[in-house]
């Protein structure tokens, strides 16, 4: 990407945050022992700088939050990709190489087995797609947009909100882990679970950084919330009836 195509504001972002690349390399990439391998670190620094330029070009403050967290994610991806490709002089594009990796699901399908395999959420059924697609957009909808007469969607919105609230209460009981559990559940619920657009959800790394915890802890909290919401919806006869009615109208 040509740096000259960036706006003055984007160029300022690049110049003022160039140190992020060096910080990332110091934290995640070992210093080469032999002097002849220093060129590899220089190549990685260049990859990180290119990722920083791309991040500045794509950055939207309203959607992405702090630029440093947004840029670090892209720097990390670019450096990791360069390491994975082992500094080949002729590189196979990452997405092409990814498409040629062995697919265990395809092997199971060709063998006549269930391609899904023993997935942990395989028994979630309709509730899984419901919470990922329809439900979250309903939960995030402003109540002010409702019509005077309650609709089918309004009633489902209420049941979904109740399920989400019950899941939050379940995970914040005194016997359920650390003292900051309630703060963690509230943050994950507001910034990820209840945000319908995937691109608008706060990144796991940024949320973990703000909560001063590991990314795995944020992931575990989010999965627990979704699992409890799905279970609550699957056991709610009224919701299932309304969902069947809504599907029939579609």
Domain of residue 59, CATH code: 1.10.1740
Residues 72, 156, single domain; the answer is no
Assigned domain for 230 exists? yes
Dihedral pair phi/psi, residue 118, rounded to 5°: -80, 65
Residues 243, 156, single domain; the answer is yes
The rounded distance, in Å, linking the Cα atoms of 186 and 189 is 5
Assigned domain for 239 exists? yes
Give residue 143's pLDDT. 47
Do the Cβ atoms of 55 and 14 come closer than 8 Å?
Answer: no
Give residue 123's pLDDT. 36
Residues 134, 236, single domain; the answer is yes
Q: State how far the alpha carbon of 68 is from the alpha carbons of 3, 75, 96, 200, in Å.
A: 19, 10, 29, 17
Residues 6 or more apart whose CB falls under 8 angstroms from that of 168 comprise 185, 186, 189, 225
Residues 138, 71, single domain; the answer is no
Q: State how far the alpha carbon of 86 is from the alpha carbons of 77, 83, 90, in Å.
A: 14, 5, 11
Residues 127, 94, single domain; the answer is no
Give residue 97's pLDDT. 56
Give residue 196's pLDDT. 74
Residues 148, 83, single domain; the answer is no
Helices (H) and strands (E) in the chain, counts: 14, 0
Give residue 36's pLDDT. 54
Assigned domain for 108 exists? no
Domain boundary residue among 99, 133, 159?
99
Domain boundary residue among 51, 68, 99?
99
Residue ranges of the chain with pLDDT lower than 70?
1-4, 31-39, 85-150, 152-153, 174-179, 249-250
Assigned domain for 26 exists? yes
The rounded distance, in Å, linking the Cα atoms of 31 and 138 is 50
Instruction: Extract the tokens encoding 84.
Output: 């994975």
Domain boundary residue among 99, 131, 161?
99
Residues 94, 127, single domain; the answer is no
What is the torsional sign of CA 188, 184, 187, 203? Answer: negative
Assigned domain for 43 exists? yes
Do the Cβ atoms of 171 and 185 come closer than 8 Å?
Answer: yes
Assigned domain for 104 exists? no
Q: What angle do CA 173, 207, 131 make, to 5 degrees?
A: 65
Its pTM stands at 0.42
Helix (H) or strand (E) holding 141: none
Domain span holding position 43: 3-99
Give residue 241's pLDDT. 80
Residues 87, 127, single domain; the answer is no
Reference 217, options 209, 206, 208; nearest CA is 208
Domain count, the chain: 2
Assigned domain for 174 exists? yes
Residues 48, 132, single domain; the answer is no
Residues 47, 84, single domain; the answer is yes
Residues 215, 127, single domain; the answer is yes
Assigned domain for 113 exists? no
What is the torsional sign of CA 77, 79, 82, 86? Answer: negative
Exposed, middle or buried: residue 79 (CB in 10 Å: 0-12, 13-18, 19+)? Answer: buried
Residues 50, 153, single domain; the answer is no
């Amino acid at each position: 990407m040509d740096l000259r195509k960036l706006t003055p504001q984007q160029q300022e972002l690049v110049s003022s945050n160039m140190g992020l690349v060096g910080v990332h390399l110091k934290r995640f990439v070992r210093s080469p022992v032999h002097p002849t391998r220093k060129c590899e670190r220089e190549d990685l620094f260049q990859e990180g700088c290119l990722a920083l330029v791309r991040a500045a070009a794509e950055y939207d403050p309203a959607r992405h939050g702090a630029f440093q967290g947004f840029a670090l994610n892209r720097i990390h991806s670019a450096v990791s990709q360069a390491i994975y490709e082992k500094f080949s002089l002729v590189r196979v594009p990452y997405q092409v190489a990814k498409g040629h990796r062995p697919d265990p699901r395809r092997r199971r399908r060709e063998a006549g087995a269930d391609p899904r395999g023993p997935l942990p959420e395989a028994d979630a059924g309709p509730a899984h797609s419901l919470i990922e697609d329809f439900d979250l957009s309903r939960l995030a909808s402003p109540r002010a947009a409702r019509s005077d007469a309650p609709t089918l969607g309004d009633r489902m919105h209420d049941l979904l909100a109740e399920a989400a609230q019950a899941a939050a209460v379940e995970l914040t009981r005194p016997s359920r882990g650390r003292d900051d559990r309630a703060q963690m559940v509230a943050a994950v619920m507001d910034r990820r679970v209840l945000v319908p657009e995937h691109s608008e959800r706060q990144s796991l790394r940024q949320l973990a950084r703000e909560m001063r915890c590991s990314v795995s802890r944020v992931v575990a909290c989010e999965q627990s919330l979704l699992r409890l919401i799905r279970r609550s919806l699957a056991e709610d006869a009224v919701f299932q009836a309304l969902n069947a009615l809504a599907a029939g109208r579609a």
